[in-house]
């Protein structure tokens, strides 16, 4: 039995097969602002304006929440992130809370949706709500097997009881992820949880000839 809230859309009676969001006109304005405005205090109200113009374009929620969090306004940052997340979920789920069968990252129009759901899952993780976070990562993974955002790494980290999959996988000075170490870490540990990864390994082997062996 799930012990966390499942967001549903009562108006959508059937599960979406292949979701692709519409083109968002404010997206160009959003990217222009990020490129042109380096002052975070000036950028924040501009992000909030974009949210008013199009409440269903979710990247400004992420940007504004990040600014607020860095300035110490954690409560407001979380509330704004949650608002965007809930709106995003209601755009894609059905009356039972099911994700679309596919929510591909390859559709540029979907990326703002995937990003905010992924970001909210990390908020839940940080709050100690690991089962709720794990549920979101699993659904992102299943609906986008190419896994451009690395949901499988988050799933594995949670299953291993780690606070973050970044632990021990960073370059010591550059602060980035060592892709080779991450891949080897995944290959060494994924088989401990076949219920989460066996379907994906079979799919990758069939479609791409991916081999999980590290030897």
Contact assessment for residue 148 and residue 206, using Cβ atoms and an 8 Å cutoff = no
Contact assessment for residue 53 and residue 26, using Cβ atoms and an 8 Å cutoff = yes
Q: Which backbone phi and psi does 41 adopt, to 5 degrees?
A: -65, -30
The domain boundary residue, chosen from 107, 125, 154: 154
User: Which residue from 64, 35, 38, 68 is spatially nearest to 50, judged by alpha carbons?
Assistant: 64
Tokens linked to 164: 């973050």
Say if 160 falls within a structural domain.
no
Beta bridge partners of residue 18, listed in sequence order: 102
Contact assessment for residue 114 and residue 147, using Cβ atoms and an 8 Å cutoff = no
181 CB neighbour count, 10 Å cutoff: 13
Residues 148 and 185 in one domain: no
The domain boundary residue, chosen from 109, 134, 154: 154
Say if 22 falls within a structural domain.
yes
- Count up the domains in the chain and report the number: 2
Distance (Å, whole) CA 201 – CA 207: 10
Query: Treating both helix axes as pointing N-terminal to C-terminal, what angle do 59-70 and 111-126 enclose, rounded to 10 degrees?
Result: 30
- Write the CATH number for 144: 1.25.40.10
Distance (Å, whole) CA 210 – CA 200: 10
Residues 138 and 200 in one domain: no
Residues 171 and 70 in one domain: no
Distance (Å, whole) CA 98 – CA 3: 16
Residues 93 and 172 in one domain: no
Distance (Å, whole) CA 143 – CA 131: 18
Distance (Å, whole) CA 122 – CA 133: 7
What contacts 118, CB < 8 A, 6 or more positions away? 136, 137, 140, 149, 151
Say if 113 falls within a structural domain.
yes
pLDDT at 210: 59
Say if 161 falls within a structural domain.
no
Q: What predicted TM-score, i.e. pTM, was given to this entire model? A: 0.92
Q: Report pLDDT digits (tens) over 11-54.
A: 999 999 999 999 999 999 999 999 998 888 899 999 999 999 99
Residues 84 and 130 in one domain: yes
Grade residue 214 by pLDDT with cuts at 50, 70 and 90. Answer: very low
Q: Which backbone phi and psi does 113 adopt, to 5 degrees?
A: -70, -50
Residues 39 and 103 in one domain: yes
pLDDT at 215: 43
pLDDT at 5: 86
The domain boundary residue, chosen from 113, 129, 154: 154
Range of the domain at 213: 166-215
Residues 35 and 138 in one domain: yes
Tokens linked to 170: 């960073």
Share of the chain above pLDDT 90, in %: 78
Residues 115 and 176 in one domain: no
């Amino acid at each position: 039995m799930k012990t966390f809230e499942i967001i549903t859309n009562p108006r959508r009676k059937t599960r979406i097969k292949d979701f692709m969001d519409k083109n968002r006109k404010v997206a160009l304005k959003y990217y222009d602002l990020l490129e042109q405005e380096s002052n975070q205090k000036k950028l924040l109200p501009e992000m909030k304006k974009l949210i008013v113009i199009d409440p269903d374009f979710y990247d400004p929620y992420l940007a504004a929440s990040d600014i607020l969090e860095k300035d110490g306004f954690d409560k407001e940052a979380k509330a704004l992130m949650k608002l965007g997340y809930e709106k995003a979920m209601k755009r894609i789920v059905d009356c039972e809370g099911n994700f679309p069968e596919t929510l591909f990252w390859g559709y540029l129009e979907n990326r703002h949706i995937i990003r905010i759901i992924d970001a909210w899952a990390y908020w839940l993780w940080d709050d100690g709500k690991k089962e709720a976070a794990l549920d979101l990562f699993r659904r992102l993974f299943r609906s986008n097997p190419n896994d451009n955002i690395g949901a499988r790494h988050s799933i594995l980290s949670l299953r291993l009881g780690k606070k973050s999959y970044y632990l021990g996988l960073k370059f010591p000075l550059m602060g980035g992820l060592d892709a080779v170490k991450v891949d080897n870490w995944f290959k060494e540990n994924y088989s401990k949880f076949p219920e989460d990864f066996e379907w994906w390994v079979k799919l990758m082997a069939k479609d791409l000839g991916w081999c999980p062996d590290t030897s």
